[in-house]
Structure formats: structure tokens, C-alpha cells
């Protein structure tokens, strides 16, 4: 079974640069859905090279681009 970090329904509004820097070897799911996320720094996902799944559903994100996901490739 895949490991999971569930941060759903926590009223998170912003994700700062390198917010997940200590999860560089995490290979599971990161669930950030059902928060109040409006903004994600372009380097917020830096270091999540082995992440298998990311959920950002049901938030208030204004814009995302490929730059946000460059470290996941």
C-alpha cells in the first residue's frame, strides 16, 4: 500500500518555497485537497522528486504553471 500524507481540510492558505524540503525521499501521495490554498510559491514543491501523487482539488488556486511542477519531472 502507498504511503500517504494527508493535509486535507486544514485551512491552509499559502504554500511557501521549499515547504516540503524534508520529504525528498517520500514516494507516496501528498493530499492538500479541501483547503483554502490561494497561492503556491513556484519552488514550493522543490525536493519532491519521488512523489507519486499530488492532490490540490477543491482549493482557491489562482494560477499554476509548469514551473510549479519542474522538480516533479
Model-level pTM? 0.88
> Per-residue confidence at 1, pLDDT binned at 50, 70, 90?
confident
Residue 8 pLDDT: 97
In the predicted structure, residue 58 carries a pLDDT above the cut 90: yes
Residue 37 pLDDT: 98
Burial-class residue 73 by CB neighbours within 10 Å (0-12, 13-18, 19+). Answer: exposed
Amino acid at each position: 500500500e502507498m504511503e500517504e500524507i494527508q493535509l486535507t481540510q486544514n485551512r491552509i492558505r499559502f504554500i511557501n518555497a521549499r515547504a516540503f524540503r524534508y520529504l525528498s525521499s517520500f514516494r507516496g501521495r501528498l493530499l492538500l485537497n479541501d483547503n483554502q490554498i490561494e497561492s503556491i510559491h513556484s519552488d514550493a514543491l522543490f525536493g519532491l522528486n519521488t512523489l507519486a501523487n499530488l492532490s490540490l482539488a477543491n482549493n482557491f488556486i489562482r494560477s499554476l504553471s509548469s514551473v510549479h511542477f519542474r522538480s516533479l519531472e
